[in-house]
Chain A
């Protein structure tokens, strides 16, 4: 099954700074989703980008997708302490199952 690999594994920044996380995958996809997980809790869906889209925005989130490089990035602008969480990408493979598969995530710490 298709699995995303997030990079970096951990990221520590100050409030107000931007945070960028990357995701790489191996096969062609229909779409790619980003999720957030606060410590020890369930995942929350953030944004979905389809394979024919290159960029998508949602509030302070900006997601890009480069299908030629099989990579995506999530940018959080003007980060806040409340953004502290783990972030996962979930590529949905073309011809694959309905179920997104997740990597190990990027652990983001935003210091107040």
Chain B
């Protein structure tokens, strides 16, 4: 099976712009989670989508949003970018059915906000 893929891998934006990141999960996985990783804050959970519905949400402002399509692919959007949004954004997929599941991570999208 192909692994989790994320596009684009690298992105440079300026403050005030918006950005959309994409994640394609492993075939058959219905849960997609997004994380933000920065040196200062570590790996922080953004939100999780399961069957096109947001099932869990982290503690991030409303500028961060996401969605999931019927084929389980997911996108996250960040509007009105701030310098502090510079980070590695990781998505992870899993079956989404059991509490002992392994999360399979993509390689990440590195976002730099200037």
Given the complex, which residues of A lie within 8 Å of B108, measured CB to CB?
A: 40-42
- Whether a CB of chain B sits under 8 angstroms from the CB of A25 is no
B31 on interface, CB distance cutoff 8 Å: yes
Select one of A33, A40, A104 contacting B88, CB under 8 A: A40
Given A42-B4, A42-B107, A99-B56, A105:B99 Cβ within 8 A: no
Interface residues, chain B, CB within 8 Å of chain A?
4, 31, 33, 35, 42-43, 45, 48, 55-56, 88, 90, 92, 94, 96, 98-108, 110
Contact A48 B99 (CB under 8 A): no
Most buried by A among B35, B43, B104: B43
Task: Report whether A45 and B107 are in contact in the complex, using a CB–CB cutoff of 8 Å.
Answer: no
Sorted from nearest, which 6 A-B pairs have the closest CB atoms? Answer: A42-B105, A104-B42, A102-B43, A45-B102, A43-B105, A97-B56
Most chain-B CB neighbours within 10 Å: which of A30, A96, A102, A103? A102
Q: How many whole Å from B30's CB to the nearest CB in chain A?
A: 11
Question: What residues on A are CB-neighbors of B103 within 8 Å?
Answer: 35, 43, 45, 90, 99-100
Contact of A103 among B42, B94, B96, B107 (CB under 8 A): B42
Determine whether the beta carbon of A40 is less than 8 Å from that of B102. Answer: no
A94 to chain B, nearest CB (A): 9
Task: Please tell me the number of chain A residues within 8 Å of chain B, measured between CB atoms.
Answer: 26
Contact call A105/B42, Cβ cutoff below 8 A? yes
Q: Contact check: which of B43, B55, B102, B110 meets A88 at CB < 8 Å?
A: B43
Bound CA–CA A61/B70 (angstroms) = 39
Closest to A5 in B: B42
B45 near A99 with CB under 8 A, answer: yes
> In chain A, residues 1-50, which have Cβ atoms closer than 8 Å to a Cβ of chain B?
1, 30-31, 33, 35, 40-45, 48, 50
**Residues in chain A near residue B43, CB distance under 8 A:** 43, 88, 102-105
